[in-house]
Amino acid sequence: MTDKIDKWLRSGPEAVLRKAGLREGNRVLDLGCGQGRYAIPAARIVGDTGWVHAVDKDRQNLREVKRRAAKEGLRNIDTVHVHVARHSAIPIQPGTIDVILIYDVLHGFPEKAERDNLLRQVHRLLRPGGFLSCCLTHLREFGWTYKKTLAEIADAGFRLRRQFRPTLVHAGKLVRVRIFQFAKPG
């Protein structure tokens, strides 16, 4: 990795999450958390009064999240193994999550029925007034557009609140992306 990427990895994820609206005391769900690029900084942000649920289908990723959390002494993060694309339910109490992160994940649900299932679950888990923070990637590869994808999210009961354009590491490069924030009306 380059020095610029290494530098971004040290402070960039936390800065992006703060800009996205994460605050101390939030209860966050990082869907498709991978090895914790956002789950770990989210746990630092929400502090001892908040909680992070790191959700992924890959058990090795979840082991890495646990290892990294332990190394940092973070006790406000748990891992949840579930394969949402197979219509498995996310085992978290409905209406209890303040913020759900879906960063570089939605393309992993290429069938509309899978995306609809995912978005129904996200809507069910969020408390009224909570928000979904979504970074859409790989749209062209699947023949999608921002307009079509944003409409699907709105059809699931969300209202677009705002968007911003940070720089993230994606596919080993620093790239400028669009992060959309949707509110669950309440």
Q: Is the pLDDT of residue 85 over 80?
A: no
pLDDT at 138: 82
Q: Give tens-digit pLDDT for 111-138.
A: 888 889 999 999 999 999 999 999 988 8
For the chain, how far is it from start to end, CA to CA, in angstroms? 43
Q: Give tens-digit pLDDT for 137-182.
A: 887 887 888 898 999 999 999 999 999 999 998 888 899 999 999 9
Mean pLDDT, the chain, whole residue set: 93
Tell whether pTM > 0.75. yes
Burial 146-172 (b: 16+ CB within 10 A, else e): eeebbeebeebebeeeeeeebebbeee
Q: Which domains does the chain have, with CATH numbers?
A: 3-183 (3.40.50.150)
Q: Give tens-digit pLDDT for 12-24.
A: 999 999 999 999 9
Q: Give tens-digit pLDDT for 24-42.
A: 999 999 999 999 999 999 9
